[in-house]
Every structure is written in structure tokens, then in C-alpha cells.
Structure 1
């Protein structure tokens, strides 16, 4: 089974587990019903933006569609690309407090990608390996070069940019569990 088939199968399982129809998930996520149907059947290539839109509505980490932690078998790293960012899932860690996805990311030279808000209380941290990244909240972007890092709330719209050449880094996306503090 290829990446498209695996992602489609997991996406359909998550949607059904959430008790959502294809139409309802499409409506809530802003992803077209036809696109969602093609993703679930493995006939469409998933993009990073589309998968985040869907997993956010489902209240799940991106790794829930890229990796199968229930199988007990560690699959080869799974990658997905967006308009500027290519992300390869290299690790998924989960405990009672949170699920954390670890990605090896590349931000394309001169490109900017805007990400929609993820599930509440999600945070992201980028450790830059090479290049200079501009990341975080659009109204307060952070610049990080080799060996530096940036950290921002990912439950708000945020961006990734590589204005001066390709950027390579390690991205940590942390999804806390349980109710939000009041």
C-alpha cells in the first residue's frame, strides 16, 4: 500500500471514529467534498495544508494520518509537502500529557507558507540546521539561523518563510491532551 492509500485509509477511519460524514468534515475543514473523497480512496496526493485542515477538525495530530502507532511497527518515514514546506515525520511520541510529532522540514528558497490554526494549545518549535527561517505568528515573526530555534503558539495562524535560501530544520509540534485550563 502506498502513502496515498495509507493516508486515505487512516483519514477515513478517523472521520468515522469522530462520527462525521464526508460532507460534514468537508464543510468544517473547508476542503472540497470531492477532494476529501479522492483522498480517502487514495486517488489524490495529500498536501500539508489539506491534511492539517482535516486533522485539526478531527482534533488529532498530523501524525495520526501519516503513521500508524497502533500497529506497533515503525514504518519508513512519511513525508508531505505544502506550498513552501516539505515535512517528513521522523518520530511520534505520546504520553498522558501530550502527543508530539517530530518532523525533518525543508522550507523552499524564497517561499512563504501560511498555516491555519491547529487544535487548541498546540505549539511548534523549529530548530534550524541550515539557512535562515522566518517563522511564527504573522504579527510577530521570529528569525532563526543555524543552531538557533524559534517557538510559537500553533493554535493561531502562523507562517514559515525562507527569504534568503533554502532552510533545513527539525520541527516539533506538541498537541497537549485534556481540557484547556480555564
Structure 2
């Protein structure tokens, strides 16, 4: 089964489990109803931005929609990401991605669920990342941590960047 089909099936399952209509999820995520329908049916390839918009509204980590670490590339306007690991603990879900940020491109990411944090370790070239209002340059061998429950961005000002991205979602206990 292709990524689009797997992701679409899982999106629909989570939406139905939560009792949301297609229209309601589209409204809350600001994703067009037609786009969402095509995603759920596996007829459209999802982008990182779209998947994060949907998983934020659904209150689930991205890996809940992608499935087990399958080394499948999911792309956004500047970032290509491969989920390599997912760790679940009573207090948090942590995802580990190998990412590439394309040169001279910037990708803005909307706020994720409350309490979500991101950590990057740059492997090659210099990344421009962090909170959208105050991104920072991170050189090879350096790392940065920022709150991901606010708008944030990824950029590569001087050549393609390779990095490890860790996203930690707190588990909200009722």
C-alpha cells in the first residue's frame, strides 16, 4: 500500500474515532474539504504542512498518522522528513526524523499541540530554525531547542541542510 493510501486510511480512522465529520475537520484545520476527501481516499499525496495542520487539530502526533517508522519521505515546501523512530511514554510521545532542508527555501510551520517542543541537531551546512519571530542559525554539530506550540520555521541559507529533528508531544491526561 502506498503512503497516500496508508495516511488517508489512518486519517479517516482517527477522525471517525473522534466523532468529527469531514466538514468539521476541514473547518478546524483550514484544509479544504475536497483536499481532505482526496487525502482520506488516498488520491492525494499529503505535504508536511497539511499533515501537521490535521494532526494538530486531531491532537495526535504526526507518527500516529504515518504509522510505524517506515523510512518514508514526507515533503513540505522546504523540508523532506523521514520518520526513523517513535517512542511512547506515559508522559510524552517522541518522534525522531532525519530531515533535509532545501537550499534557499523557507518553510513556516504552524503551531503544534500545546507543550510540543522541537530539537534539531545539524549534521551538514547551516540551518536557520526556531520560533518564527526569532529564528537562529545552527551550524554543523550544534543543536537548538524551541517551543513548537507557536509558529516556527526551517530554512537553509547556505546550501542543503541535513539534520536530525526530534519532536516531543506531551501526553495530556484527562
Q: How big is each residue's C-alpha offset from its partner over 1:41-78, in whole Å with a ceiling of 9 and x where there is no partner?
A: 0000100000000000000011111114xxxxxx6312
Is 2:66 aligned against 1:66?
yes
Structure 2 residue 115 is the aligned partner of structure 1 residue 121: yes
Give the deviation of 1:156 after TM superposition.
0.1
- Alignment partner of 2:73 out of 57, 79, 87: 79
Q: 1:143 Cα deviation (Å)?
A: 1.1
CA RMSD of aligned residues (A): 1.2
Q: Which residue of 2 aligns with 1:3?
A: 3
Q: Identify the residue that residue 90 of structure 1 maps to in structure 2.
A: 84
Equivalent-residue separation in structure 1 for 2:60 and 2:33 (angstroms): 20
Q: In 1, Cα distance between the equivalents of 2:86 and 2:130?
A: 22
Question: Which consecutive segments of 4 or more residues in structure 1 shift more than 6 A?
Answer: none
Which ranges in structure 2 are unaligned for 5 or more consecutive residues? none
Q: How far does the alpha carbon of each residue in 1:115-145 deviate from its partner, in whole angstroms, 9 at most, with x for none? A: 0000000000000000100100122212111
For the residue of structure 1 that corresponds to 2:164, the secondary structure is: strand
Determine the structure 1 residue equivalent to 2:155.
161
CA distance in 1, matches of 2:157, 2:172: 38
Give the secondary-structure state (helix, strand or coil) at the position aligned to 2:42: coil
Summarize the alignment of residues 19-168 of structure 1 with structure 2, pairs less than 5 Å apart: 19-68=19-68, 76-168=70-162
Q: Which residue of 2 aligns with 1:71?
A: none
Normalised by the size of structure 1, how large is the TM-score? 0.93
Query: CA shift at 1:179, angstroms?
Result: 5.0
Q: Is the 8 A contact 2:47 2:74 kept in 1?
A: yes
Q: How many pairs does the alignment contain?
A: 174
Contact 2:117 2:167 in 1 (8 A): yes
**Partner Cα distance (1:76, 1:4) in 2:** 13
Once the two structures are superposed, the pairs formed by residues 166-177 of structure 1 within 5 Å of their partners are 166-177=160-171
Q: Are the counterparts in 2 of residues 143 and 150 from structure 1 also a CA contact under 8 Å?
A: no
Output the CA distance in 2 between the equivalents of 1:45 and 1:110: 24
